[in-house]
Chain A
Amino acid sequence: MKTESMSNARPRSFQEIILRLQSYWAARGCAILQPYDMEVGAGTFHPATTLRALGSRPWAAAYVQPSRRPTDGRYGENPNRLQHYYQYQVLIKPSPPDLQELYLGSLDAIGIDTALHDIRFVEDDWESPTLGAWGLGWEVWCDGMEVSQFTYFQQVGGHDCHPVSGELTYGLERLAMYVLGVDHVMEMPFNDPGAPIPLTYGDVFRQTEQEYSRWNFDVADTAMLLGHFEDAERECRRILDAPRADRAGREIVMAHPAYDQCIKASHLFNLLDARGVISVTERQAYIGRVRALAKACADAFVTTEAGGSTGAA
């Protein structure tokens, strides 16, 4: 019989799972980045994924990204639905030939014994209409539960990806609940249960879930949000329309500041959607407006050095 090494012992808390993923991917050569400091709907929106998937320069990054989906708020009462949650995101370009094996290694690292569980790669084509992006891959099942998304990016912001990035997204709460054997997210140990001050997920987030659910659904000022949406859209355009050279004659394309406005517009749209003020037909139009911004930002990024541009435009 094989004895389990200490590192493969079952983790005891939410944060231990995050820490193990961090050290696992750090050991595989990824730059461990910090979360992006803006409100986003998913880890994919982080410029370290969206923009860095573009162009020819190699890239390898992993990070936690707090994500917000206002419509999923349930006042902290639903066992696994939250308006604010964490995703763990890995992006490697070009996708290495053993990415599946690397991924399975990460499951092992967080205590999922693949000799006892049934891991499956089930077709799931990923598409983000707001980012003008799509890819092919799978949702990864562990005993019938989706624990990750695994995608080979084919297009982002309307640009073909060359080379192709491999993207892994772990829904951290759901994955951790499974590994820790917890039925309600709020009961999940956040730090070690043996710590002097043990904290559950609920201790950290129950109240914020209530507060944001109320604000998202009932209180947010829709007229103001709509104004902000239009401001963000306008500013994004204005940034991209600025001349390539600054007043000192230095060529500086402002792809990232413009993309920040695109992220803002996307989140404001999500808030408006949660307030129920966007009709079915309007929805498509808003998504189209955000996508147009994402495409414009991608167009700008690929003309920059980080975007793989080698010469002057």
Chain B
Amino acid sequence: MPDLLLELFSEEIPARMQGKAADDLKRLVTDGLVERGLTYAHAAAFATPRRLTLAIEGLSERSALRREERKGPRLDAPAKAREGFLRAIGASEAEAAALAAKPVSEIAIPGVRVVARPEKKSEVLFALIERPGREAAEIVAETVEAVIRAFPWPKSMRWGAGSLRWVRPLRSILCLLTTEAGAEVVPFGIDGIPAGNLARGHRFMAPDAFAVSSFEDYEAKLARAFVILDPKDRAERIWHEATQLAFAQGLEVIEDKGLLAEIAGLVEWPVVLMGRIAEPFLHLPPEVLSTSMKEHQKFLSVRDPGTGRVTGYVVVANRETADDGAAILAGNAKVLAARLSDAVFFWENDLRTPLDAMTGKLGAVTFHNRLGTQGARIARIAALAREIAPLVKADPDLAERAAKLAKADLASQMVYEFPELQGVMGKYYAEKAGEDGAVALAAEQHYSPLGPSDFVPSEPVPVAVALADKLDTLTGFWAIDEKPTGSKDPFALRRAALGVIRLLLENGIRLPLTRVLLDPVRRNRAAMVAAGAVPAEDVPDLSNDRVERECALVLAEDLLSFFADRLKVYLRDQGIRHDVIDAAYQLGGQDDLTLLVARVRALSDFLATREAANLLQGYRRAVNILEAEEKKDGVEYSLAPEPKLAETHEEGALFDALDEAEAAIGPALGRENFEAAMSALAGLRAPIDDFFETTVVNAPSAIIRRNRLCLLNRIRAVMNQVAIFSAVEG
């Protein structure tokens, strides 16, 4: 069983692409080998800045002979159809026509026997194809070449005078099959690059080529040539040495897995050095220091665990030097000083600019060409935050002030330079300006939550602003009909809806969404008209309050069903079925998501019981009979049934049980005690079962039959007060 070693050696591969490229190489090559009839025991892929490497163990020596039968057209089919078939099974363009004219027994194509067999009253052509097994080397060569030529780089390029595409110029290919007998180069080449058995070490520390004979030999020689092959090993080494260096000085490295992986993709031989931030920069907010160091210099940040302030950094160089990195560290410190001087300049300029002036600048910045400026958007959010405030127990004045200032930092120089600091800078600038703590907190937190596991604000003012921000975004894009479709959601509206859902549910907030959505829908429509995005005749008369209100209502309801869909996704992850949500949502008027979810959870628990399963059967039986008879008779049996027409004991008992259940359900729902309402329903199971066992609905007497159908309708009506049970699947 040979092992395969493949190395694609190139000029520097972008760090962000290395991980996926290694995975792709492994997947595409192993898939290609398997498709061509080889098997393997194990495969592993690695990436460094200059190489992609794949090691496959236990490859089969050759592929097995394969027989295959292919059905063709009928013998009497037109010549064109027979020719096409012959080409498909291996005849050349030139000979296909001649072969098609011959009798079946004389059609000669290498490795293929063509026969005619009777099938459905006619003769049909069949090709019996025998594919001989092939040597592993041949299959590897073919597979690797195909993979290289169609590699899924996010961006690829040509170089020199060639036409091959790779992420950066491909310099050499190492491709070996190793057995106990020794290693052999797989003979192939691509665009003048022959496969060989040579590898190279570190660009500067060991640039010479060396021959390798197996993966173990390759990995060991690389390590001696100052290349750590496995990115995980490089990342571990960086992290280990960085934490050791920091620890020795009583400091700690701030964890950043993404940055660590990126750094590991920039070096083959990591050498970790630590520096201190110079005194004039230490007063900058730690987020500013970290972001500047990370974005511009790829430094890890080091913090003083006592004060929480960022005081140092870790530089990862790609080589050892005679001066133990002194010149490298000094050079990096100088570059950092220039960068942080810029940051101090931005910070001080921003602090001189009043927050209201920053917000004022946003009046000239377009948010969306059909929804007006950022300034207009902020005004809408502020108005909405004020309306929402009492519902989330926030002070309306503070909520409005917070919303007005929350996005001020978008006009700051610091956020222009580092967009990822939006919100964070807003908090600092609001604090420095002496704004209320809640206002500063809202600036920082109002973008949250940004996903299913992100932090959810819980302080009232930030919650009010966070809700207003997302609801305005949703209503705005709904008003201009830019809803998400399929995989396209350019304005992250699904994330905004999920944000609203999590803010409401996790804080237990009771918010009547339809009512809350109406005003922002109307404001956004007004903004749209103001922005001249729609011709006046396409817009209903805005001065006619009734017409405008109805239009807004339609949009708000559409948006509400979008929330219901997002809610299904959110609750699915918590194990709640979508049909259970439908059963509650279809009651109508379910625009209080917190209440809806309370009902859904109770219903979900109830449906898990044996009682409920049986009750559901009875419900379906009642509904099926009722609907079938209504269809047959062309009438609706919606009148109240008469208890005095009950003939059987069980029928009478059902009347009593329904009265009893209804008497309990109403008040329970009024108290929002859904568990109590569900258990009231549970009491119906036995009477319904008994009724069906003893009583024939389609009684000979028309009066009795009608009364019983109305009774079935009443079962449905009583149960549907709790949830629309017909929506429940299974």
A13 at the interface (CB under 8 A from B): no
Whether A143 lies near B157 (C-beta < 8 A) is no
Whether B318 lies near A120 (C-beta < 8 A) is yes
Which residues of chain B have C-beta atoms less than 8 A from A79's C-beta? 338
How many angstroms between the C-alpha atoms of A95 and B317 in the bound complex? 28
Q: B323: which of A116, A136, A162 is its contact (CB, 8 Å)?
A: A116
Given contacts A144-B331, A163-B160, A280-B366, contact A123 B15 (CB under 8 A): yes
Given contacts A95-B160, A152-B169, contact A118 B16 (CB under 8 A): no
Which residues of chain A have C-beta atoms less than 8 A from B580's C-beta? none
B321 at the interface (CB under 8 A from A): yes
Whether A95 lies near B159 (C-beta < 8 A) is yes
Q: A136: which of B155, B162, B171, B366 is its contact (CB, 8 Å)?
A: B155
Given A143-B330, A163-B160, output 17 extra A-B contacts at Cβ < 8 Å. A94-B160, A95-B159, A100-B11, A116-B327, A116-B328, A117-B321, A121-B49, A123-B14, A136-B167, A136-B168, A143-B328, A144-B335, A144-B336, A145-B335, A161-B158, A166-B159, A280-B366
Whether B321 lies near A136 (C-beta < 8 A) is no
Q: A120: which of B159, B167, B266, B366 is its contact (CB, 8 Å)?
A: B266
Whether B332 lies near A164 (C-beta < 8 A) is no
Given contacts A80-B338, A120-B318, contact A152 B159 (CB under 8 A): yes
Whether A122 lies near B266 (C-beta < 8 A) is yes
Which residues of chain B have C-beta atoms less than 8 A from A154's C-beta? 157-158
A–B pairs, 6, beta carbons within 8 Å? A116-B323, A118-B328, A123-B14, A136-B167, A143-B328, A144-B331
Whether B160 lies near A143 (C-beta < 8 A) is no
Whether A117 lies near B160 (C-beta < 8 A) is no
Interface residues of B in 266-303 (CB under 8 A from A): 266-267, 297
Closest chain A CB from B149 CB (angstroms): 18
Q: B331: which of A94, A117, A136, A183 is its contact (CB, 8 Å)?
A: A117
Closest to B11 in A: A100
Given contacts A95-B160, A125-B155, contact A145 B331 (CB under 8 A): yes
Tier of interface size on chain B: 35 or more
How many angstroms between the C-alpha atoms of A161 and B323 in the bound complex? 44
How many angstroms between the C-alpha atoms of A178 and B328 in the bound complex? 12
Chain B 1-42 near chain A by CB (<8 Å), digits 1 or 0? 000000000011011100000000000000000000000000
A269 at the interface (CB under 8 A from B): no
Which residues of chain B have C-beta atoms less than 8 A from A142's C-beta? 331
Whether A163 lies near B161 (C-beta < 8 A) is yes
Whether B171 lies near A97 (C-beta < 8 A) is yes
How many angstroms between the C-alpha atoms of A152 and B399 in the bound complex? 53
Given contacts A116-B322, A117-B328, contact A164 B159 (CB under 8 A): yes
Which residues of chain B have C-beta atoms less than 8 A from A5's C-beta? none
Interface residues of B in 349-375 (CB under 8 A from A): 365-366
A186 at the interface (CB under 8 A from B): no
A135 at the interface (CB under 8 A from B): yes
Whether B366 lies near A164 (C-beta < 8 A) is no
Closest to A280 in B: B366
Interface residues of A in 97-123 (CB under 8 A from B): 97, 100, 114-123
How many angstroms between the C-alpha atoms of A95 and B160 in the bound complex? 4
Which residues of chain A have C-beta atoms less than 8 A from B336's C-beta? 144
Q: A121: which of B12, B160, B322 is its contact (CB, 8 Å)?
A: B12
Closest chain A CB from B642 CB (angstroms): 74
Closest to A92 in B: B160
How many angstroms between the C-alpha atoms of A292 and B54 in the bound complex? 46
